[in-house]
Amino acid sequence: MQAKAEKALIIGAAGFVGSYLTHHLHDDLGRSVVVTKLPRERLGELPAKVVDLDIMDKESIIELLFEERPDEIYHLAAISSVSLAWSNPQLTIDVNVKGSVNLLEALRELFYKPRVIMVGSGEEYGHIRPGAVPIPEDTRLDPGNIYAATKACQNMLSRIYAEAYDLELIMVRAFNHIGPGQLPIFVVSDFCKQAVDIEQGRREPVMYVGNLSAKRDFTDVRDVVRAYAALAAHGVPGETYNVGSGHAVEIRELLDTVIRRSGADIRVETDPAKIRPVDVPIIEADISKLKAATGWEPRIPLEQTIDEVLDYWRRKGEEDGKAV
């Protein structure tokens, strides 16, 4: 039986998911939490010990693991934007592949075996035929972009390390996760920020969009971090688990929902800069394996998340206005 975890380490906590995972582990599960960030990054108030770490420096990872002795590790450090990966492939490969290998090598040198969640992406499945969804974990990978290829590589390496070196690695393929505080380079936050900027009179009543026909599987980030913690407790080492809602939504429907719930009078126009070089028509997770292993279910409906993201940008707009 797995011993109860007391200390959790989150590698790469300065991103969108880090603060949500920290609060869930500390506030809801009672863990002592250590989080890492790059020296140039800033974190808000978190109930955690904060450590500077560059995952490109393997020796620093080894020193941190020996010093902190975490029971659980959550590997979030990555270039996670598909658009950024297109514009800087070399950096994406360095961070997502070489950085992950540095962590795996550091784990090999430990004298005990923490449970480790290696976070990948639903983008790894790539070009999926419409009739082949929802996508189970044993689907052949066919990455359609550079970010997806690096995450597929991380997954394969993690599975090999788990088997070859008896490491407690549990791999995740997380589908699109959304929520308040996400950068507007991601579609839901982008739509909501544009809508609020129009509401508050900071821009003309036109929303600029990219591909609207693609369908994606969206899950609230608070549900996602619950799934990560549940897998750290109950997942099988060497196995991969999809984390998503199990339901794909067309981007056009998402846009219509944002406009309807914002209440603003908005015209929609296509922005060629937002069109990706390659796009996958539909991505939808089969989450039956995750449910069977952990009993996890998504709790927060898409409309609630959109309302809260709109409210986040409204508050931010008001705060920015007062600061001027």
Residue 311 belongs to domain spanning: 187-215+248-281+300-323
Can you name the residues that pair with 279 across neighbouring β-strands?
A: none
Percentage of residues in the chain having pLDDT higher than 70: 96
Residue 191 lies in a domain: yes
Cα-flanking dihedrals φ and ψ of residue 299, to 5°?
Answer: -110, -30
Among 94, 13, 110, 16, which Cα is nearest to 57's?
94
- On whether both 172 and 60 belong to a single domain, the answer is yes
In the prediction, which pLDDT does 40 show? 94
Is pLDDT above 50 for 183? yes
- On whether both 172 and 228 belong to a single domain, the answer is yes
- On whether both 89 and 234 belong to a single domain, the answer is yes
**Each residue's pLDDT tens digit, 97-120:** 999 999 999 999 999 999 999 999
User: What CATH number has the domain bearing residue 35?
Assistant: 3.40.50.720
- On whether both 138 and 26 belong to a single domain, the answer is yes
User: What CATH number has the domain bearing residue 313?
Assistant: 3.90.25.10
Query: Whole-prediction pTM value?
Result: 0.93
Rounded-to-integer distance, Cα 45 and Cα 263, Å: 33
Residue 92 lies in a domain: yes
Q: Is the distance from CB of 118 to CB of 173 less than 8 angstroms?
A: no
Rounded-to-integer distance, Cα 119 and Cα 155, Å: 8
Rounded-to-integer distance, Cα 235 and Cα 212, Å: 35
Q: Tally the C-alpha atoms within 13 A of residue 159's C-alpha that lie toward its C-beta.
A: 12
**Each residue's pLDDT tens digit, 34-57:** 999 999 999 989 999 999 999 999
- On whether both 169 and 44 belong to a single domain, the answer is yes
In the prediction, which pLDDT does 278 show? 53
- On whether both 142 and 205 belong to a single domain, the answer is no
Residue 101 lies in a domain: yes
Mean pLDDT along residues 178-192:
93
Structure token pair of residue 16 = 């969108």
In the prediction, which pLDDT does 72 show? 97
- On whether both 145 and 192 belong to a single domain, the answer is no
- On whether both 236 and 130 belong to a single domain, the answer is yes
In the prediction, which pLDDT does 1 show? 45
Rounded-to-integer distance, Cα 172 and Cα 76, Å: 11
What lies within 8 Å, CB to CB, of 3 at 6+ separation is 71
Mean pLDDT along residues 302-309:
97
Is pLDDT above 80 for 129? no
